[in-house]
Structure 1
Amino acid sequence: MKRYAAFLKLMRLTLVVFLTLAFLNCTSEKINERTDETVNITDFLRQNDEYSMFLEMLELTNYSSFMNTYGTYTLFLPSNNAIKNYLTDVGAAAVKDVPLEDLKELVKLHILDQEVATTAFTDGKIATPSQQGQFIITGAANVGGISSITVNKTSRIMSSNVKVGNGIIHIIDKVLRVADKTLAQTIEADQSLSLFTEALKATGWYDKLNMPLTSTTVEGKTTLSGHLTVLTETNEVFKAAGINSLADLKAKYSHLNDPLNPEDSLNLFVSYRVLPKLQYLADLAVSPSLETKAPLEVISVKLATGKILLNEETFNGVLEKGIPVNRTGSDVTTSNGVVHTVEQNFFIKKRNPAPVYFDLGDQPEFRKLSAVFRKPGNYVSLAKSLFTEVTWDGVDALTYVCAAKGSSSYQDRAWKGDVIEIFRFRNGNTQNIAFKTPVIIKGKYKVWVSYRWKSAKNPTVRAYFDGVALPRLINFQEQGVNNIDERVLESQGYKSHISPFTNRFNSRLCGVIDVQTTGRHTITFESLSNPGDTAWMDVVEFRPINMDQLYPRLQSGGEGFVE
């Protein structure tokens, strides 16, 4: 009987367990498979009716699914009211009435492929271009005692730094417009630049500034070229210089009486104001000199008390004051470049050789990575296909390192605290690495190459300037020396290029060059050995031969100079 009771008890327990398991299996599991419940951009728009019209734009252009995927984007999001005002401006009744191609370009202009918070904004362009290709300009405005951030000089940010799952959103009160006028058309449309427009037409430069960009596609990657930058002068600036008409301009500058002749002074007057490439104020501010379309002529740049000054130099102890760039009238984006205005009239200045301190890490591709470039404790490696001004043999990536302060690697002691890291600087890997230099004024220079030494597995390197080999080799295993008189050391072709001194860095004199033309040149480094370790390079100095080769020294870990 006891056995039977025990058996019944066991059967009841088994039935309870079975029913429990059956219940659990039949109940849907409510497991949160996401680690982050923050919605992505498209879902954010779907949840907020006040942005429904921009959502419609995304859907019409097939961007809605794309903007709902993983990534790090910045969206400048116009409200429905902003889009309604835009539709009125273009004469469209609804979003769907805007030509699809125009809509695509408009949407792409509002999106950046990098997360950029307002704390990273400066008074000028954001380093990362929009998906459309044109840059976004930010600034500050004070209206009625209320300060706000402006975007492209026409829109204000109403709400900023809205975090979403795949980036960040800034709400704006006006739709950003794609710049569809050329440099020539943009300048001509400004009545205050009417005399400058006449000068462009008289010299033939109007047609050159009216040319569209050239598109080249290689392996599926499209590159636009032909951007130019123009430094304009208003009628008021001309008037202050006693120039009130095109006739006055010709009388003052056209020495051949043939403005269409590239050698005529009026033609040179205009070409001196046309710069290659796309160069916003943020680019001018960090450029020691600017190449111009006037043959062999450059414009020097100095940043002083928040102003960008052109051609400010001291000659024979006399200061020649610079020409201020007008910030308000500058950073005007066009379809093929950017327009700036200056506050005074100026002409070509003949230049003597001047030192150039070329920080090898200061490449456009590294500079636009605002979270990495000159941010201590960060580095990035980029494939050679991404670079426009650096080329090399081999497939290894090129690495930029901005070491943390007090780093055991001592890389933070370099000038500006950053170095270029070359992985396996040897034949078959990274070899014949060539850098496009900044503008060098014609003349004779001594070339110094600085590096972070390593006692083993580092290369011996030959330098070439514009393809011509320099006589002295660089041994990356030679360390800096401080126990020999600095002038004796200099006579042997060595020096400490940074101050305070650290023997972790050394600088080698490679030879003397004769720069025949003012402009940008090429310096190439060829490894003559096959070491198996990384190599680090800091800066290349081009110092005029009649200049002191030791002083000023470059500031260790900083951007300045030490006398």
Structure 2
Amino acid sequence: MKRNIVLALGSVAIIALLMSAPGCRKIKIEESTTGDVNIVGYLDKNLDSFSLFRQILERTGNAAFLNAYGAYTCFAPTNSGVKTYLAGLGAASVDAADLNTLKDMVRLHLLSDTVYTNSFTDGKLPVITMYGQYLVTSVTNKNGVSSYLINRQGTVLRSNVRVGNGIIHVIDNVLKPAVKTIAQQLEENPDYSIFVQALKETGFYTKLNTVDSDTSKRWMTVFAESNRALADSGFVTYAALKAKYSKTSSPTNANDSLHIYVAYHISQGLKFLGDIISTPTHETLQPQEVVSIKLIDQQVLLNQDEFNGVLEKGVVLNRDKSDIAATNGVWHDAAAHFMVKFRKPTALYWDVSSFDEIKKLPAYYKKANYTFSRATEADQPIKDHYWGWGPLASTNFLQYTYSAASSITNYAYNADINMVPLGLPNRPPWWEMRTPPIVKGKYKVWVCYRQQKQSSSSNMLCQVSVNGTIMQRTMNFTDTRPAGTDSELEAIGWKRYTENTSSLWAARQVGVIEFTTTKQQIIRITALSGTQNNNNLDMIHFIPIDQDQVLPRFRPDGTMIYQ
């Protein structure tokens, strides 16, 4: 049973994709190095562009520290941008503007660290502003030229100007801070009236309307559903939504399905799109429930997963209506209605040789051997497979091995296996893999392999852990399967998982684990004693404890057989 898991890529991926999109021929980045001592000195030498911002720094008392030693990033608005800003305040001049408003404005334009454009991913910058809110970067395209956009308000005209005490990025407009909470922003937008009413009746509106003084608790992320998204699923009024989900007559009850629906749309922490795609799952306020994340082409998808060989289509986050910053977090627009899916524990028969990186190589997948090597310890050629660095560099590889004729793979699931070197002093000390999503529940864990000894004296005793929990039994890649009936073997933690009856094909039950959350899980195989390259890992089975552990077995073509 294959799992087609499209992994969340790193944040830079979206920017890279945008740069290759049709019409985005180049990105406009003007860089320069200046001999000026500091930020203020640069502004003084370019008063034709920055005289008004320079006046604001002087009036707010910020000129002195920006004229001294330090490491800052300054987003400097041009005179035309400041004029537009002052007009919006109803101030005829810098001196006529409210002093505290100007102080806040300056703090929003300053970071206490140097941040270059290579950190301008699609989302928040890595350093918070002196105002206490994060700036958000994205890319805009005009006349075939792409430019960075800050907070969707200011276009970067010149970037990475290096001065003695930091970096200057020139922008064409003054940036304005968020002044309303998530709840207030959603409420003032009539397109979200049904969702807002659900927030109010479940009690979550108050939570999303609070700016906690403790920043570790302040930030929230909301996946909001518009009236249109709800209408597409048949909910044209709040009454219809409530009738569908609220069965206790008390939406504030944590067990009420309407309460569960809203809780499932809120996640603790500040998560812009760049943060969201960096992790495959995100916990929600609904206990033990997560939303999964995929980045496919340029689309960020919630809950696009495969269960039992069936692909469940995900929900797109509308990029142009997402990353909306508020005083207590950020919210995103979900293009369709979604709800927690309550599933029964379901067996996962995981073919560990079916991963995205090999499937993207059609000349090798199910056709020929291919080696994924790590030249350095920092390399990670396979996102869902990782291993501890082996002191002997040449052993830091995973070999995808395929052959319908070789005795090593001919009876493997899909006739392929992963050969994983293990064991100090020279080889990797452990292998770690991220599974496809597994429904929460209690499972027995089986490691399925083709036994082989690299030499007659080879031994490869291993310990298995799942999500950091050590399993109750060890396993050994050099052990053959004992003789016995299915029931006799199961009683001692063994089974035959292939159609072939040879004892070389073995499945070892290493223990029982309870998953409290439906999501991808982490399994690690650690070498305890012995070392060799020829550890032939074929499958890993996670089977609910109350289900048949022996059947089905598997043919090389992937067919399941129940005898």
Establish whether TM, by shorter chain, passes 0.5.
yes
Question: What is the identity, as a one-letter code, of the residue corresponding to 2:543?
Answer: N
Of 124-133 and 317-326, the range deviating more from structure 2: 124-133
SS of 2:179's equivalent in the other structure is coil
Following TM superposition, by how much is the alpha carbon of 1:175 offset from its aligned partner in structure 2, in angstroms? 0.8
Given that 2:293 and 2:300 are in contact with CA atoms closer than 8 Å, whether structure 1 keeps it comes out as: yes
1:344 to 330, 336, 341: 336
| In structure 2, C-alpha distance between the alignment counterparts of 1:191 and 1:233, rounded to whole Å | 12
Gaps of 5+ in 2: 1-33, 353-374, 379-387, 399-436, 448-462, 483-489, 494-508, 524-539, 550-563
| In structure 1, C-alpha distance between the alignment counterparts of 2:249 and 2:187, rounded to whole Å | 24
Q: Which residue of 2 aligns with 1:257?
A: 249
Distance of aligned partners of 1:175 and 1:447 in 2 relative to their CA distance in 1, 3 Å threshold:
farther
Distance of aligned partners of 1:150 and 1:447 in 2 relative to their CA distance in 1, 3 Å threshold:
farther
| In structure 1, C-alpha distance between the alignment counterparts of 2:68 and 2:377, rounded to whole Å | 26
Given that 1:228 and 1:337 are in contact with CA atoms closer than 8 Å, whether structure 2 keeps it comes out as: yes
Given that 1:309 and 1:322 are in contact with CA atoms closer than 8 Å, whether structure 2 keeps it comes out as: yes
Q: Which residue of 1 aligns with 2:83?
A: 84
Distance of aligned partners of 1:87 and 1:263 in 2 relative to their CA distance in 1, 3 Å threshold:
same
Given that 1:447 and 1:513 are in contact with CA atoms closer than 8 Å, whether structure 2 keeps it comes out as: no
| In structure 2, C-alpha distance between the alignment counterparts of 1:307 and 1:468, rounded to whole Å | 35
Given that 2:292 and 2:519 are in contact with CA atoms closer than 8 Å, whether structure 1 keeps it comes out as: no
Q: Which residue of 2 aligns with 1:42?
A: 40
1:443 to 422, 437, 441: 441
Given that 1:443 and 1:544 are in contact with CA atoms closer than 8 Å, whether structure 2 keeps it comes out as: no
Given that 1:444 and 1:545 are in contact with CA atoms closer than 8 Å, whether structure 2 keeps it comes out as: no
| In structure 1, C-alpha distance between the alignment counterparts of 2:171 and 2:197, rounded to whole Å | 37
Given that 2:272 and 2:330 are in contact with CA atoms closer than 8 Å, whether structure 1 keeps it comes out as: yes
Q: Which residue of 1 aligns with 2:262?
A: 270
Question: What is the identity, as a one-letter code, of the residue corresponding to 2:224?
Answer: T
Q: Which residue of 2 aligns with 1:514?
A: 514
1:307-456 paired onto structure 2 within 5 Å: 307-351=299-343, 352=345, 442-444=440-442
Distance of aligned partners of 1:181 and 1:519 in 2 relative to their CA distance in 1, 3 Å threshold:
farther
SS of 1:328's equivalent in the other structure is helix
1:88-487 paired onto structure 2 within 5 Å: 88-215=87-214, 223-351=215-343, 352=345, 442-444=440-442, 484=478
Question: What is the identity, as a one-letter code, of the residue corresponding to 1:546?
Answer: I
| In structure 2, C-alpha distance between the alignment counterparts of 1:447 and 1:67, rounded to whole Å | 62
Following TM superposition, by how much is the alpha carbon of 1:187 offset from its aligned partner in structure 2, in angstroms? 0.8
State the superposition RMSD in angstroms. 4.6
Following TM superposition, by how much is the alpha carbon of 1:444 offset from its aligned partner in structure 2, in angstroms? 4.0
- The one-character-per-residue Cα deviations of 1:185-224 (angstroms, maximum 9, x if unpaired) are 0111222212222221222221111011233xxxxxxx54
SS of 1:177's equivalent in the other structure is coil
SS of 2:316's equivalent in the other structure is strand
Of 310-319 and 67-76, the range deviating more from structure 2: 67-76
| In structure 1, C-alpha distance between the alignment counterparts of 2:145 and 2:278, rounded to whole Å | 31
Of 72-81 and 97-106, the range deviating more from structure 2: 97-106
SS of 2:242's equivalent in the other structure is helix
Given that 1:54 and 1:78 are in contact with CA atoms closer than 8 Å, whether structure 2 keeps it comes out as: yes
Distance of aligned partners of 1:184 and 1:514 in 2 relative to their CA distance in 1, 3 Å threshold:
same
Distance of aligned partners of 1:510 and 1:195 in 2 relative to their CA distance in 1, 3 Å threshold:
same
How many residues get paired? 393
**2:538 matched to 1:546?**
no
Following TM superposition, by how much is the alpha carbon of 1:98 offset from its aligned partner in structure 2, in angstroms? 4.1
Following TM superposition, by how much is the alpha carbon of 1:345 offset from its aligned partner in structure 2, in angstroms? 0.9
Given that 2:281 and 2:519 are in contact with CA atoms closer than 8 Å, whether structure 1 keeps it comes out as: no
SS of 1:256's equivalent in the other structure is coil
- The one-character-per-residue Cα deviations of 1:351-406 (angstroms, maximum 9, x if unpaired) are 55889x9xxxxxxxxxxxxxxxxxx9899xxxxxxxxxxxxxxxxxxxxxx99xx9
Distance of aligned partners of 1:181 and 1:470 in 2 relative to their CA distance in 1, 3 Å threshold:
same
| In structure 1, C-alpha distance between the alignment counterparts of 2:40 and 2:259, rounded to whole Å | 52
Given that 2:446 and 2:542 are in contact with CA atoms closer than 8 Å, whether structure 1 keeps it comes out as: no
Given that 1:159 and 1:170 are in contact with CA atoms closer than 8 Å, whether structure 2 keeps it comes out as: yes
Given that 2:151 and 2:175 are in contact with CA atoms closer than 8 Å, whether structure 1 keeps it comes out as: yes
Following TM superposition, by how much is the alpha carbon of 1:411 offset from its aligned partner in structure 2, in angstroms? 11
| In structure 2, C-alpha distance between the alignment counterparts of 1:133 and 1:162, rounded to whole Å | 24
Distance of aligned partners of 1:315 and 1:224 in 2 relative to their CA distance in 1, 3 Å threshold:
closer
Question: What is the identity, as a one-letter code, of the residue corresponding to 1:246?
Answer: Y
Following TM superposition, by how much is the alpha carbon of 1:59 offset from its aligned partner in structure 2, in angstroms? 2.8
**Greater relative contact order, per chain length (Cα 8 Å cut-off, separation 6+):** 2
- The one-character-per-residue Cα deviations of 1:260-280 (angstroms, maximum 9, x if unpaired) are 322221221111101111111
Of 510-519 and 244-253, the range deviating more from structure 2: 510-519
Distance of aligned partners of 1:104 and 1:522 in 2 relative to their CA distance in 1, 3 Å threshold:
farther
| In structure 2, C-alpha distance between the alignment counterparts of 1:203 and 1:409, rounded to whole Å | 56
Distance of aligned partners of 1:303 and 1:485 in 2 relative to their CA distance in 1, 3 Å threshold:
farther
Following TM superposition, by how much is the alpha carbon of 1:285 offset from its aligned partner in structure 2, in angstroms? 0.5
Given that 2:303 and 2:315 are in contact with CA atoms closer than 8 Å, whether structure 1 keeps it comes out as: yes
| In structure 2, C-alpha distance between the alignment counterparts of 1:133 and 1:411, rounded to whole Å | 47
Following TM superposition, by how much is the alpha carbon of 1:297 offset from its aligned partner in structure 2, in angstroms? 1.7
- The one-character-per-residue Cα deviations of 1:67-90 (angstroms, maximum 9, x if unpaired) are 233344322111122112112212
Distance of aligned partners of 1:113 and 1:513 in 2 relative to their CA distance in 1, 3 Å threshold:
farther
Given that 2:288 and 2:516 are in contact with CA atoms closer than 8 Å, whether structure 1 keeps it comes out as: no
Q: Which has the larger radius of gyration?
A: 1
Task: State the percentage of identical aligned residues.
Answer: 39
Gaps of 5+ in 1: 1-35, 216-222, 358-375, 380-401, 415-438, 449-461, 474-479, 494-508, 524-542, 549-563
Distance of aligned partners of 1:304 and 1:467 in 2 relative to their CA distance in 1, 3 Å threshold:
closer
- The one-character-per-residue Cα deviations of 1:400-427 (angstroms, maximum 9, x if unpaired) are xx99xx998789879xxxxxxxxxxxxx
Question: What is the identity, as a one-letter code, of the residue corresponding to 2:94?
Answer: V
